Amino acid sequence: MKSSAVHRLRLVSGPEGLSFLLLMTCSVLKRTTSFDAVMPMGWIHGGLFIMYVVFLYLAWQQQRWTAKRAALFFLLAVLPTGGFFAERMLAKEERGEAPAKAEPVTV
């Protein structure tokens, strides 16, 4: 099932991951050269991260994900290349290749 919340989360996860890598690169360049773009890159990354968290919350509620699945996507947001893995997982979910939510266990 295609969910608008999952789609928005997928669309912001790639740029969020890229902005994190660029922010780390800017931090290194600031300390090794005269180039200083940490503040603007920090604002961009911060805005994308906030959007990611909001869209994650909305997708979690709409898709009725488990707390464990939502925590996995949050963990991916704070890892340097995690946004790219999140985007890939969400794309599979949108195409129906991965389960959107865990099946309830019946005994």
Which tens digits make up the pLDDT trace of 3-45?
788 999 999 999 999 999 999 999 999 999 998 999 999 999 9
Q: For the chain, how long is the longest CA-to-CA vector?
A: 64
Q: What is the per-residue pLDDT for 3?
A: 72
The rounded distance, in Å, linking the Cα atoms of 27 and 89 is 29
Instruction: pLDDT band for 99, please (50, 70, 90 cuts).
Output: low
Task: Please say whether the dihedral angle defined by the alpha carbons of residues 49, 9, 80 and 99, taken in this order, is positive or negative.
Answer: positive
For the CA atoms of 24, 27, 33, 35, what is the dihedral angle to 10 degrees?
A: 100
Q: What is the per-residue pLDDT for 31?
A: 93
Whether 105 shows a pLDDT value over 70: the answer reads: no
Query: Token pair 């704070």 is at which residue?
Result: 78
Which tens digits make up the pLDDT trace of 64-78?
999 999 999 999 999
